[in-house]
Structure 1
Amino acid sequence: MTTWKPTREQSQFIKRYAEALSSGDAALFAGAGLSRAAGYVDWRDLLREIAVDLELDIDQETDLVTLAQYHCNEKRGTRWRLNQAIVDRLSDVATPTRIHRILVRLPISTAWTTNYDRLLERAFEDAGKVVDLKLSQENLVHTRRGRDVVVYKMHGCVSQSHEAVITKDDYEQYGNTRPLFVESLKGDLIGKTFLFLGFSFTDPNIDYILSRVRILLGENVREHFCVMRRPPRPSEADSRQEAEYEYELRKTELRRTDLLRFGIETVWVDGFSHIEPLLAALSSFVHRKSVFVSGAAFDPAPLGRDRLDALAREIGMRLIREDYNLVSGFGSGLGEQCVIGALRGLYGIPRGEDSERLVVRPFPRVEPENQLRQNTRHREDLIARSGVLIVMAGNRERAKGSGETEPSPGVFEEVDIALREGKPVIPIGATGHAAREIWEKAMGNPERYLPGIETKGALEILGDSNATNEALLNAVFELLAKSQKVVGL
């Protein structure tokens, strides 16, 4: 299997956009491409039946806004069919893609979209974020308390299809009907660094707003990024196909140069399938200093309760003092001890600098039949916010009151999630139980559990139950330091 690696330009994008994310100045602009990947129709398919009514071939049309206007003209200004097409084709509940799940777990507090569907806001909500949704001029006046992210749907929503921006009239009158959206987007383009995804930049509103920002700021426009696919070279192409490829390549290069006028740098990918690993690399870089500690210990053997709890507290405290962040589900036992250690480490850190150093998200309780599914989603969310997983112990009581012990399935699930997401896993095998099993597997296949990291020496110490807590801690933090270099681009 080929391992995806970022190009030099992609690495520069990751570093620079990560800086904006870290400072709270990052924003997202989601176009139709994101929703299409989840199974929703694009504009062309949305208007296919409308084109049939007009006796036009949708596949030959390039100006779809004008086509929608033609329909209104033919119906003497009535747009019921257009509204119904939006409801019929975009009301179905689609599942957010992995790209959505990566994006919404980044520290993004502002998102714009031209999409009518509800996929973006649903993805944010699934990640446990409070969404302040802006659908109309009136919405902009009010603020939802405790919000984590503001989602601006500048072209409307399937829930209010009669107000959707879709015809030429809608676009031409946008500055008059939705002036606050225009001014809000101008402000965000000036004050934030945007990442444009799934976007074609053929939207008249966006062109107008970008132009106004450029007129206001001249050459001092802010840095933004868009991810675009290079035109694929046809294999075994004849002269006509080769000419078409060269023509498309030339147009793409001209468009890239034109976007630079607005401060938008193009991040090239060779195929749409490369967008997901690019964003996963961005997420890993952003969360590289965040560590999730997985573990439970009904039975504290072989270290014993006092020593095991002390080790957990020391891990939490040292993470904070060495400029890492602790992510915890606050499970009983070891989770509590790690958090106690982290709180001790936070003592004396100036207020404001400690807000993201300790992320505690207790496992929510739901109906018994939904609890396992909820636990999985919660684990996925916690690990998505982390760059590294540390495993301690990992056992539970087999049945309440039985006194018998079994390996913790939750710990194994957390390791599986981390491995699936390409996150390093550091098992402290000396703590026994699930951690021991995982350590043995890591010893047999270190590249799977600690990819790209030289593990010799440190990993062996982590399996030695005779090693002191200090020796175990030093081995853990040696591997942590090495993991930072691997993801450091």
Structure 2
Amino acid sequence: MTTDPTTFVSKYGKELANENAAVFVGAGLSKAAGYVDWPGLLESAARELGLDVRKENDLVALAQYYVNKKGANRHQLSQLLVENFSDLQEPTENHKILVRLPIRSFWTTNYDGLIEAALQAGGRIADVKSTTAQLTTTKARRDAVVYKMHGDISDPSSAVLTKDDYERYHRSHEAFITALSGELVSTTFCFLGFSFNDPNLDYILSRVRTTFTKDQHTHYCITKRRSRNEFRTAAQFDYAKVKQELITQDLLRFNIETVLVNEYSEITELLRAVEKRHRVRTVFISGSAHDYGTWGQPAAHEFIAELAGELIRRKFKITTGFGLGVGGPVVSGAVQAIYSQRLGSVEDQLIMRPFPIEIADPTQRRKTYERYREDIVAQAGIGIFVLGNKLDGAQVVNSPGVLAEFELAKKLGLWLVPVGASGFVAEQLWQEVMDHFDAYYRDSPRKVRGLLQSIGKVNGQPRDLVKVIIEIAELLSKE
């Protein structure tokens, strides 16, 4: 059985929202970063054995043949791992997307450090488990656990690679099997970077087969559909297509549904769609104010606080850079709603990152602010922009920071909701969005245009706009 991409995005997105999603990464993601896959790793070993790696289906056996020829000495096989995996490559876009998602459990059979590097670059603390001894310890303040079932390049002699290694795995790595079995029963996995002829996938599933029951989570495996240009003859293509269909059916024994894509680039598109669906329940609020314009400070603060509170009550999360004159009411409205509704901890619902204003060097300050803004905005799927001015000497001017945040939000694909009625930069941005509505709101619900039009000016009190903005957010979050 195959699952269409739209269904996968919806169902896996729901599991992410419930923080009940995991990922299992295979060699394909590492190959895209510049590392070799199994055939590439063992190509020289096969040549030394007088074999053609392209004709070998059982690469685990091939690795064993190589060790056998060396008199059961693994040194040269370990050296192949060192030569091919020691240099740290740049994580791919797929890695970067995965670590931005609320995934706390990463499983892999890869030996490289790409997942850990992506987590670190994303500001997340990784607790790496590549030996059974490491399973008994816990890294302080960890954000994610990386289970490296087949070892790590830092200890190539212990890497799981040969037939001997796999045959004794149930004894040498029993704790990994137990941990994986438990997560497969209770968590929804997405298998990425596995091909249907990847030897690892068969071994993984066979090791946990006995733990599966009829009542368990559905898992997903994203893989490329066989295409004619991959094969020299039509007969070879037909054979591969039939085999892919049979393996797809066989994966259902493990409750794994296959999501087929035509090109590898579509995997990235799928992950982006998953990320967008997840982020859309997080709202970024941007704004700053020295002057509150026609609204006045009391009405503006009341509007902002009520908007933040209502977003929280509707189970949206909020992220903000704590802009001058705006951040305070955002926090007060959100915190009051969290406590009054008993909606969990403040940290889970509200992400506040005040800008570090004491950086003296202008160049360093600019670079820090750019990175800071991206970290804040990248977590959201909707951006709301209010007011947007600051005092420059004795003069009130439009805020370049709010403009920068709008451009960044646009680049990152957020739905953009400027509250034009608040004036200043927000009014300018509202006009920009309305003038190019089809570009900013392609494929959005029809009702959005009219709702967005209505927040361009105040009819009554500013707080009357809250209901309209919430309706816009709800419509967009269902897309």
Indicate the SS of the match to 1:441.
helix
Q: Which amino acid counterpart does residue 391 of structure 1 have in structure 2?
A: F
Q: Which amino acid counterpart does residue 80 of structure 1 have in structure 2?
A: H
Indicate the SS of the match to 1:308.
helix
1:311 maps to what in 2? 303
Distance 1:71 1:359 in 2: 53
Equivalent in 156, 164, 184 of residue 159 of structure 2: 164
Indicate the SS of the match to 1:159.
coil
Aligned CA distance change for structure 1 residues 255 and 417 (closer, same or farther; 3 Å): farther
The CA RMSD over aligned residues, in Å, is: 2.8
Deviations 1:310-333 (A, max 9, x none): 322222112122332212233443
Q: Which amino acid counterpart does residue 276 of structure 1 have in structure 2?
A: T
Question: Cα offset for 1:374?
Answer: 4.2
Question: Cα offset for 1:136?
Answer: 0.8
Aligned CA distance change for structure 1 residues 19 and 367 (closer, same or farther; 3 Å): farther
Structure 1: segments with no counterpart, 5+ residues = 1-6
Task: Report whether the alignment pairs 1:468 with 2:455.
Answer: no
Task: Report whether the alignment pairs 1:425 with 2:416.
Answer: yes
Task: Report whether the alignment pairs 1:358 with 2:353.
Answer: no
Distance 1:410 1:49 in 2: 55
Deviations 1:248-297 (A, max 9, x none): 21111011001001110111222211112212222222233221111222
Distance 1:171 1:388 in 2: 47
1:277 maps to what in 2? 269
Alignment map for 1:367-386 (pairs within 5 Å):
370-386=364-380
Q: Which amino acid counterpart does residue 76 of structure 1 have in structure 2?
A: G
Equivalent in 425, 428, 435 of residue 437 of structure 1: 428
Indicate the SS of the match to 2:102.
coil
Aligned CA distance change for structure 1 residues 84 and 396 (closer, same or farther; 3 Å): farther
2:97 maps to what in 1? 102
Aligned CA distance change for structure 1 residues 324 and 55 (closer, same or farther; 3 Å): same
Alignment map for 1:45-60 (pairs within 5 Å):
45-60=40-55
Alignment map for 1:381-392 (pairs within 5 Å):
381-392=375-386
Say whether the 8 Å CA contact 1:461–1:467 is kept in structure 2: no
Question: Cα offset for 1:438?
Answer: 1.8
Say whether the 8 Å CA contact 2:381–2:413 is kept in structure 1: no
- The worse-fitting range, judged by mean Cα deviation, of 164-173 and 137-146 is 164-173
Deviations 1:73-132 (A, max 9, x none): 232233333333323332333222222222212221211011111111221222222221
Aligned CA distance change for structure 1 residues 230 and 364 (closer, same or farther; 3 Å): farther
Aligned CA distance change for structure 1 residues 232 and 314 (closer, same or farther; 3 Å): same
2:404 maps to what in 1? 413
2:477 maps to what in 1? 484
Aligned CA distance change for structure 1 residues 19 and 301 (closer, same or farther; 3 Å): same
Aligned CA distance change for structure 1 residues 123 and 306 (closer, same or farther; 3 Å): same
Q: Which amino acid counterpart does residue 384 of structure 1 have in structure 2?
A: A
Distance 2:364 2:112 in 1: 27
Deviations 1:360-395 (A, max 9, x none): 344568895555444434433333322211112233
Distance 2:68 2:207 in 1: 30
Aligned CA distance change for structure 1 residues 259 and 142 (closer, same or farther; 3 Å): same
Equivalent in 11, 20, 30 of residue 16 of structure 1: 11
Indicate the SS of the match to 1:389.
strand
Question: Cα offset for 1:196?
Answer: 0.5
Distance 1:317 1:364 in 2: 26
Equivalent in 222, 245, 256 of residue 237 of structure 2: 245
Say whether the 8 Å CA contact 1:31–1:114 is kept in structure 2: yes
Q: Which amino acid counterpart does residue 457 of structure 1 have in structure 2?
A: G
Task: Report whether the alignment pairs 1:74 with 2:66.
Answer: no
Distance 2:290 2:37 in 1: 53
Say whether the 8 Å CA contact 2:177–2:208 is kept in structure 1: no
Q: Which amino acid counterpart does residue 166 of structure 2 have in structure 1?
A: Y
Indicate the SS of the match to 1:348.
helix
Deviations 1:37-91 (A, max 9, x none): 2222222223333334444433333333223223322322333333333233323
1:229 maps to what in 2? 224
Aligned CA distance change for structure 1 residues 79 and 390 (closer, same or farther; 3 Å): same
Deviations 1:310-360 (A, max 9, x none): 322222112122332212233443123211111111222236476633233
- The worse-fitting range, judged by mean Cα deviation, of 164-173 and 369-378 is 369-378
Question: Cα offset for 1:170?
Answer: 1.8
Distance 1:29 1:363 in 2: 36
Question: Cα offset for 1:153?
Answer: 0.7
Aligned CA distance change for structure 1 residues 85 and 8 (closer, same or farther; 3 Å): closer
Question: Cα offset for 1:209?
Answer: 4.7
Distance 2:309 2:52 in 1: 66
Distance 1:351 1:342 in 2: 11
Q: Which amino acid counterpart does residue 423 of structure 1 have in structure 2?
A: L
- The worse-fitting range, judged by mean Cα deviation, of 174-183 and 14-23 is 14-23
Task: Report whether the alignment pairs 1:131 with 2:122.
Answer: no
- The worse-fitting range, judged by mean Cα deviation, of 116-125 and 218-227 is 218-227
1:29 maps to what in 2? 24
Q: Which amino acid counterpart does residue 80 of structure 2 have in structure 1?
A: A
Q: Which amino acid counterpart does residue 137 of structure 1 have in structure 2?
A: T
- The worse-fitting range, judged by mean Cα deviation, of 200-209 and 66-75 is 200-209
Indicate the SS of the match to 2:387.
strand
Aligned CA distance change for structure 1 residues 218 and 346 (closer, same or farther; 3 Å): closer
Indicate the SS of the match to 1:27.
strand
Q: Which amino acid counterpart does residue 470 of structure 2 have in structure 1?
A: F
Structure 2: segments with no counterpart, 5+ residues = none
Task: Report whether the alignment pairs 1:325 with 2:317.
Answer: yes
Task: Report whether the alignment pairs 1:394 with 2:383.
Answer: no
Distance 1:381 1:179 in 2: 39
1:447 maps to what in 2? 438
Identity %: 40
Distance 1:266 1:364 in 2: 46
Q: Which amino acid counterpart does residue 151 of structure 1 have in structure 2?
A: V
Aligned CA distance change for structure 1 residues 403 and 47 (closer, same or farther; 3 Å): farther
Indicate the SS of the match to 2:375.
helix
Task: Report whether the alignment pairs 1:207 with 2:202.
Answer: yes
Distance 2:63 2:315 in 1: 55
Q: Which amino acid counterpart does residue 240 of structure 2 have in structure 1?
A: E
Distance 2:188 2:397 in 1: 49
Question: Cα offset for 1:191?
Answer: 1.8
Aligned CA distance change for structure 1 residues 302 and 179 (closer, same or farther; 3 Å): same
Deviations 1:183-229 (A, max 9, x none): 11111112211111111355656534533543344434432111112
